[in-house]
Amino acid sequence: MNKIWIITKRELQSYFDSLMAYILLILFLGFSGFFTWLYGSDIFFIKQATLMPFFNIAYWTLFFFIPALTMRLLSEENRMGTIELLLTKPVSNWQVIVAKYLASLLLIFAAFVLTIPYIISVSSMGNLDLGQVFSGYLALILFSSMMIGIGLFTSSIGSNQIVSYLLALFIGIFFQVIFQMLGQSMVGIGGHILDYLSTVSHFESMTRGVIDSRDVIFFAGITFLSLVFSEIMLIRKRFA
């Protein structure tokens, strides 16, 4: 655990040193704030004391931002060769993967903490369902965790950050849109499986305030699988 934290700390430091963290926080807050309060189907438009507009815009904002956050995590190490240094220190492959995953997750978590004023504002305007807010944030964290997992995996494949970013979006879009579309056009067991693999339904039911273990397992499962695949990619490099 200690080793993981040492690497996580370094990754976080590098996010802040490279300004990546500030850019992400400003863009995320700006983007989600703009659409939550000022434009489109914002809170004043729907006239309800709810954070649903925020959850929905954050869902897509995170989809595009997280791969940008994760794209350099391992690809840069592969490109510079620093992965060799890291893995010849007394740390395991798994510790490296988990540490990098945690660093991104903590940064995203910090972004969510900065949206606490949203909760305070909305609850002062009307009767805000705090249970729903909690499950909505949980959904955002679980969804971010899944995207970080996918991003980390695509970053572990090669040494090019852009390829990693685009590949993460490509894999992500299957979960966001394509599985759902295919699921609707198919009947029987195949349709059910594709439906289950689509993030939209899991995310929506959680933002409505329903915490179902199936939804949690879905996000946690994809995250875990992505981390395992990332580790396999690391191990593969040590054989070739």
Partner 1 sequence: MDIIVEKLVKTYGIQKAVDNISFKVKTGEVLGFLGPNGAGKTTTMKAISTFLIPDSGNILVGNYSVNKDAEYVKQNIGYLPENNPLYEDMPVIDYLKFVGELQGISKEKIYDSLLTVIDTCGLEAEKHKKINELSKGYKQRVGLAQALIHNPEVLILDEPTTGLDPNQIVEIRDLIRKIGREKTVILSSHILAEVEATCDRILIINNGKIVADGTTVDLRKQAQGNDIIKVKIEGGDVNDVYNELQKIEGAAVVDIIDADNSRFQIDSNQGTAIAASVFQLCVKNNWILTELIPVETKLEDIFKELTTE
Residues that bind partner 1 (CB under 8 A): 3, 6-7, 10, 13-14, 17-18, 80-82, 84-92, 238-240
In angstroms, give the least distance from the CB of 239 to partner 1: 5
The CA distances from residue 180 to 66, 175, 176, 223, 228, in Å, are 21, 8, 7, 19, 25
Contact 131, 209 (CB under 8 A): yes
Measure the CA–CA gap between 114 and 16, rounded to whole angstroms.
16
Q: Which is nearer to partner 1, 161 or 198 (CB)?
A: 161
Q: Which residues does 73 contact at the CB level (< 8 Å), separation at least 6?
A: 11, 100, 103, 104, 151, 152, 155
Q: Between 82 and 184, whose beta carbon lies closer to partner 1?
A: 82
Nearest approach in angstroms of CB 80 to partner 1 is 5
Cβ(157)–Cβ(167) below 8 Å = yes
Nearer to partner 1 (CB atom), residue 93 or residue 201 = 93
Cβ 13 to partner 1 shortest distance, Å = 8
Distance of closest approach, residue 85 Cβ to partner 1, in angstroms: 6
Based on CB atoms, which residue is closest to partner 1, 84 or 212? 84
Measured from the CB of residue 119, what is the shortest distance to partner 1 in angstroms?
35
Decide whether 123 or 160 has the Cβ nearer to partner 1.
160
